């Protein structure tokens, strides 16, 4: 097991990856400037482990009451958000990953769950690769079980204090107290339309669960965040505008998706699925 961050470099890009912290992309910089909020080396300095780098979430966001029923059987996950009674942000974000291969600009890691954390056997492989334009992140989720496996998957991608963002949205997944979904989906309101048209989030509360209207977000003047088509939700969070970050979270499946028909993905026995994201620097300003 690798206990030191793995450093990746190409051109003006520099990244650090932490296998022991859920294969998190803990540092990403372009030309010396932070793109993602960097995870501190001292864990005691963290105010929230989910708002540094780009933690992997499986299942993603909240599972109400920590339970779900799939194909006639009820499964239980540990409740770790007492105020809402939910399982929050899944079970792999803090698990140690095995390093399979590494080079100057690429690393491949994997984690195998035998059913002890999530009640299905699966393997997730993660590859980060930096090219001249940016960083590719590829996530291969493989069902090792002899039964169908439901899942939702997301990334708590935390950008460092951007002065602008916009992202394509189509509907609101309404939530009530403590971020628990109500079960309703609503048209975009004026706040969501502002997110879609573009705005400066600094000092403002930005949050919400949204069905995707496209697969490319813009962060700041030059950063594009592209995601694969399986990511059909965008989740937003910035600690009510009181911190120096904005979480723009692509998610495959809705919040509480394991409990909502057609809002989770299903892998058959021995099947796999590849999801990807890409963060690139666009020299041509779009704002």
> What total number of domains does the chain contain?
1
CATH number for the domain including 186? 2.70.98.10
Query: What pLDDT, on the 0 to 100 scale, is given for residue 44?
Result: 79
Over 80: is that where the pLDDT of 69 sits? yes
Residue 287 covered by a domain: no
Over 80: is that where the pLDDT of 244 sits? yes
Query: What pLDDT, on the 0 to 100 scale, is given for residue 108?
Result: 98
Q: In Å, how far from its chain's centre is CA 164? A: 20
Over 90: is that where the pLDDT of 8 sits? yes
Binned at pLDDT 50, 70 and 90, residue 41 comes out as confident
Q: Half-sphere exposure (CA, 13 Å, Cβ side) for 144?
A: 14
Query: What pLDDT, on the 0 to 100 scale, is given for residue 182?
Result: 96
Model confidence over 121-148: pLDDT tens digits? 999 999 999 999 999 999 999 999 999 9
Over 60: is that where the pLDDT of 1 sits? no
For residue 145, give the 3-state DSSP assignment: coil
Over 60: is that where the pLDDT of 43 sits? yes
Tokens matching residue 169: 């949205």
8/59 Cα distance (integer angstroms): 28
Residue 263 covered by a domain: yes
Whole-structure pTM value: 0.96
Average pLDDT over every residue of 261-276: 98
Residue 66: how many other CB atoms lie within 10 Å: 17
Residue 169 covered by a domain: yes
Share of the chain above pLDDT 90, in %: 92
Helix, strand, coil tally for the chain in percent (to 5): 10, 45, 45
Average pLDDT over every residue of 195-200: 98
Binned at pLDDT 50, 70 and 90, residue 5 comes out as very high
Residue 227 covered by a domain: yes
Model confidence over 73-113: pLDDT tens digits? 999 999 999 999 999 999 999 999 999 999 999 999 999 99
Residue 217 covered by a domain: yes
Binned at pLDDT 50, 70 and 90, residue 184 comes out as very high
6/224 Cα distance (integer angstroms): 24
Query: What pLDDT, on the 0 to 100 scale, is given for residue 125?
Result: 98
Residue 108 covered by a domain: yes
Query: What pLDDT, on the 0 to 100 scale, is given for residue 47?
Result: 84
DSSP 49: T
Binned at pLDDT 50, 70 and 90, residue 3 comes out as low
Element (H, E) at 173: strand 169-175
Tokens matching residue 52: 């540094």
Residue 1 covered by a domain: no
Domain that holds residue 33: 6-281
Query: What pLDDT, on the 0 to 100 scale, is given for residue 2?
Result: 55
């Amino acid at each position: 097991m690798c206990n030191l961050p793995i450093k990746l470099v190409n051109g003006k890009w520099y990244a650090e990856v932490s296998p022991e912290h859920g294969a998190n992309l803990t540092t990403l910089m372009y030309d010396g400037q932070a793109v993602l909020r960097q995870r501190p080396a001292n864990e005691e300095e963290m105010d929230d482990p989910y708002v540094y780098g780009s933690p992997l979430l499986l299942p993603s966001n909240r599972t109400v009451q920590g339970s779900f029923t799939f194909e006639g059987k009820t499964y239980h996950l540990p409740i770790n958000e007492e105020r809402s009674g939910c399982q929050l942000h899944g079970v792999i974000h803090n698990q140690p990953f095995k390093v399979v291969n590494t080079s100057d600009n690429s690393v491949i890691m994997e984690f195998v769950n035998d059913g002890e954390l999530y009640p299905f056997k699966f393997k997730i492989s993660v590859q980060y690769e930096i090219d001249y334009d940016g960083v590719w992140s590829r996530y291969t989720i493989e069902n090792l079980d002899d039964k169908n496996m439901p899942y939702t998957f997301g990334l708590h991608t935390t950008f460092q204090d951007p002065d602008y963002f916009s992202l394509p949205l189509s509907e609101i997944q309404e939530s009530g107290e403590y971020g628990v979904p109500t079960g309703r989906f609503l048209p975009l309101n004026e706040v969501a339309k502002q997110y879609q048209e573009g705005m400066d989030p600094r000092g403002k509360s930005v949050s919400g669960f949204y069905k995707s209207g496209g697969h490319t977000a813009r962060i700041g003047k030059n950063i594009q965040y592209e995601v694969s088509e399986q990511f059909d939700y965008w989740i937003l969070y910035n600690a009510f505008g009181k911190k120096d970050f904005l979480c723009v979270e692509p998610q495959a499946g809705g919040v509480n998706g394991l409990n909502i028909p057609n809002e989770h993905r299903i892998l058959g026995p021995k099947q796999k699925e590849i999801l990807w994201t890409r963060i690139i620097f666009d020299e041509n300003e779009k704002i």
